[in-house]
Structure formats: structure tokens, C-alpha cells
């Protein structure tokens, strides 16, 4: 008997929120539109003052939410993890979305199929108007590769509920709290990559990782050193090797998947559309910061 054969598991989605009224409704809708029905969506808001609360109130019947002071994004996420009771838990930021209406059903199937504690997939990059700029294929899990770069896309990652019984984000991290979490969890838990676009990661100018890129990179460099990873010239050398061995084949896979997605577009869970096929293919090799 498989883990979820007797009853459909509860999937908890945790969304930290602060002044994202421009995007959060689409985030909520991308969860509410899932065909999988045994879902709880928990929004932890840090006392937004931009109209977010009015949006949350309008979805009272579909989400569980609180709005109160917090000590930053990691603290809000940890509060959500405390509130979550799901067998599977996702972390979806308030400017991101799930890609299509079948995502959560497929994720439940992946946990049933694979012996993994953490499952993560591929992602679509969206612009501020919810247009799909490109599809991105990420690597299969390898701890040494993770020490080179945080290749896991956070919105496309799901935890087995047992992982979060004792584990929480480090609230002292300003930018790379997710990266540190993956490195720490991977020492004790099994990660599994699935060849599936699970989430849409929104690319906009106010994102910390773009607007404060230098500070983020400095914190990531310190983190790699703390976990025994390469730095400086050795890091650059190993990254170049990885681009050839992994990056080029993944880009080719992304191109094939883009063509398939364009001609057989899934039932998107958000109010967006694919950019033109030539544009999406060109964007595969372009850094996200160049696509603003």
C-alpha cells in the first residue's frame, strides 16, 4: 500500500505577504483554481497597507490568513509552517503562482511515487503582467552542484509534512534564507527533481534578488564558505564546467519543452499567456535580470 492510498493527503500552501497587492490576488487564484481539492492556503501578512488586506478579506472563504507585525520574510514563513497541518507543504511567495490547474494533483502523485522528503520541479519565468517569458529546466539534485549555485526554484518545491516538524528557516538570513534551508535539509533528507513545470516565478524590478543583487551575492558567498563550498576563482572554474556538462543539455531540453508547451498549452492557473514562441526560445539563454 502506498503512502497516500487510503485517503487524499492534505496539501498546505504557505504564502508570506507584505505590500504585494499588485500580485497577491493572482497568487491566491492559482491555488484556488487547482483541480486537487484537499488544500489549505495560509497567508501570513506583515500588516500591509497597500490594499492587500482588502484582497485577503475578499477570499475569506478560500484562505486562512493573519496580518500582524513580523520580523521579516523568514519569520512570516516560519509562522505559516507552524500553522500548516498538511501531509505536503508548499511555499509560494505573494508574487508567484502555480503554473497550471493540475500542479498540486501531480505533486501528490510524485510524493506517492518516489521515496523523497522534498520534491521540486521546473519553472516558468513571468513578467509583471503575467506573460510567460521562458521555461527553465533545473538540474537533478546533487549536493556538490548545490554548493556551486542555488539552482532550486523555491516556488516549485514541496516538503513532506514531516520535514517541517522540527525544521525552520534561519531568520538571520536577509537574502539567501531558502538557499541555506536547502543546504541544511539536504544533509538529512532526500531531494527529488521532477521533469515538470510546477510554478511561475515572477520577474519584476522590486524583487530583492534583482534590486539588491550585490548584497544577495555577498551573502550567498559567505553561505557557501560556511557550508564548505568553493569560493572565488575555484567557484568560477567549477561553474564554467557545470555550464557545459549540465547547462547546455538543460537549455536544449527547455527549448523542446517550450515548443511542446506552446503548441499544447496547459490549463494555466493564472490569468496570463505565453509570449511568442521565438521570444520564449531566445529568452532561454538570457539571464533573468536582462528580461525586466
Of 71, 110, 107, 65, the closest CA to residue 90 belongs to 107
Per-residue model confidence (pLDDT) at position 209:
58
pLDDT in the model for residue 208:
60
Q: DSSP string covering 41-96, please?
A: EEEEE----SSHHHHHHHTTTT-EEEE---SSHHHHHHHHHHH---SEEEE--TT-
* Per-residue pLDDT at 1: 34
Q: What is the pLDDT of residue 207?
A: 65
Instruction: Tell me if 111 sits within 8 A of 3, measured CB to CB.
Output: yes
Give the separation between CA 102 and CA 65, rounded to whole angstroms. 24
CATH tag for 11-285 (out of 3.40.50.300, 3.90.550.10, 3.90.420.10, 2.60.200.20): 3.90.550.10
Q: Write the CA distances from 128 to 16, 185, 216, 291, integer angstroms.
A: 19, 32, 21, 11
Tens of pLDDT, residue by residue, the chain (292 residues):
345 556 899 999 999 999 999 999 999 999 999 999 999 999 999 999 999 999 999 999 999 999 999 988 999 999 999 999 999 999 999 999 999 999 999 999 999 999 999 999 999 999 999 999 999 999 999 999 999 999 999 999 999 999 999 999 999 998 999 999 999 999 999 999 999 999 999 987 776 656 678 889 999 999 999 999 999 999 999 999 999 999 999 999 999 999 999 999 999 999 999 999 999 999 999 998 888 7
**pLDDT score at 210:** 62
The pLDDT score that the predictor gives to residue 71 is: 87
The pLDDT assigned to 292 comes to 74
**Residue 120's beta-bridge partner residues?**
157, 193
Q: What angle do CA 2, 107, 114 make, to 5 degrees?
A: 45
**Can you read off the three cell numbers belonging to residue 262?**
506552446
For residue 7, how many other CB atoms are within 10 A of its CB? 8
For residue 171, what are the contacts with CB-CB under 8 A and spacing of at least 6?
A: 71, 72, 74, 75, 78, 177
Amino acid at each position: 500500500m502506498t503512502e497516500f492510498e487510503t485517503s487524499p493527503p492534505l496539501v498546505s500552501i504557505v504564502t508570506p505577504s507584505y505590500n504585494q497587492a499588485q500580485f497577491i490576488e493572482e497568487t491566491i487564484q492559482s491555488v484556488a483554481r487547482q483541480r486537487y481539492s484537499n488544500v489549505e492556503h495560509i497567508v501570513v501578512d506583515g500588516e500591509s497597507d497597500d490594499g492587500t488586506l482588502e484582497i485577503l478579506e475578499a477570499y475569506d472563504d478560500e484562505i486562512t490568513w493573519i496580518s500582524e507585525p513580523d520580523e521579516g520574510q523568514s519569520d512570516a514563513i516560519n509562522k505559516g509552517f507552524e500553522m500548516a497541518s498538511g501531509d505536503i507543504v508548499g511555499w509560494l511567495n505573494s508574487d508567484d503562482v502555480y503554473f497550471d490547474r493540475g500542479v498540486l494533483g501531480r505533486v501528490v502523485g510524485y510524493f506517492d511515487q518516489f521515496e523523497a522528503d522534498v520534491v521540486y520541479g521546473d519553472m516558468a519565468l513571468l513578467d509583471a503582467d503575467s506573460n510567460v517569458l521562458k521555461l527553465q529546466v533545473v538540474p537533478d539534485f546533487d549536493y556538490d552542484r548545490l554548493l556551486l549555485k542555488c539552482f532550486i526554484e523555491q516556488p516549485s518545491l514541496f516538503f513532506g509534512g514531516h520535514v517541517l516538524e522540527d525544521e525552520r528557516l534561519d531568520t538571520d538570513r536577509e537574502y539567501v534564507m531558502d538557499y541555506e534551508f536547502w543546504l541544511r535539509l539536504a544533509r538529512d533528507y532526500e531531494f527529488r527533481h521532477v521533469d515538470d513545470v510546477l510554478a511561475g516565478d515572477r520577474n519584476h524590478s522590486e524583487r530583492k534578488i534583482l534590486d539588491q543583487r550585490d548584497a544577495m551575492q555577498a551573502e550567498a558567498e559567505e553561505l557557501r564558505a560556511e557550508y564548505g563550498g568553493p569560493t572565488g576563482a575555484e567557484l568560477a572554474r567549477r561553474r564554467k564546467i557545470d555550464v557545459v556538462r549540465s547547462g547546455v543539455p538543460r537549455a536544449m531540453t527547455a527549448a523542446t519543452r517550450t515548443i511542446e508547451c506552446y503548441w499544447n498549452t496547459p490549463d494555466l492557473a493564472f490569468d496570463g499567456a505565453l509570449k511568442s514562441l521565438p521570444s520564449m526560445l531566445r529568452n532561454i539563454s538570457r539571464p533573468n535580470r536582462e528580461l525586466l
